[in-house]
Amino acid sequence: AQSVTQPDIHITVSEGASLELRCNYSYGATPYLFWYVQSPGQGLQLLLKYFSGDTLVQGIKGFEAEFKRSQSSFNLRKPSVHWSDAAEYFCAVGKNSGGSNYKLTFGKGTLLTVNP
């Protein structure tokens, strides 16, 4: 069965500093990989996803992630964090569940705090 590990429960960075959120996955085949952000009162929003091709994926809000098969990792990065980036971030792996759909397995999330 697939699994996702986000080693950091809580990260605090200063506004303007760079950010890297770690994600490791366990999956037997080529994974579908995702990063979501969850803000209070709002649904999870997709930041970016990797299905195949270029291992460096660009997403919304200036985020990017790099798929490294040898390390089973899909770390999320942002060169300069804004106060509005404070939220909970979830990494997820998708397993095809038939047709065009997939089931998501989520990590436990990393809470990002941004100091002014």
Partner 1 sequence: GAVVSQHPSWVICKSGTSVKIECRSLDFQATTMFWYRQFPKQSLMLMATSNEGSKATYEQGVEKDKFLINHASLTLSTLTVTSAHPEDSSFYICSATGLAGVVGNEQFFGPGTRLTVL
Span from 16-24, 61-69, 78-86, 105-113 in contact with partner 1 (CB under 8 A):
105-113
Residue closer to partner 1 (CB basis): 107 or 114: 107
- Counting residues that bind partner 1 (by CB under 8 A) gives 26
Work out whether 105 is an interface residue with partner 1 (CB under 8 A).
yes
Q: Give the closest residue to 32 by CA, choosing from 110, 103, 112.
A: 103
β-pairing, 45-50 vs 32-38, is: antiparallel
Work out whether 97 is an interface residue with partner 1 (CB under 8 A).
yes
The answer to whether residues 20 and 6 touch, using CB atoms and an 8 Å cutoff, is no
Work out whether 59 is an interface residue with partner 1 (CB under 8 A).
no
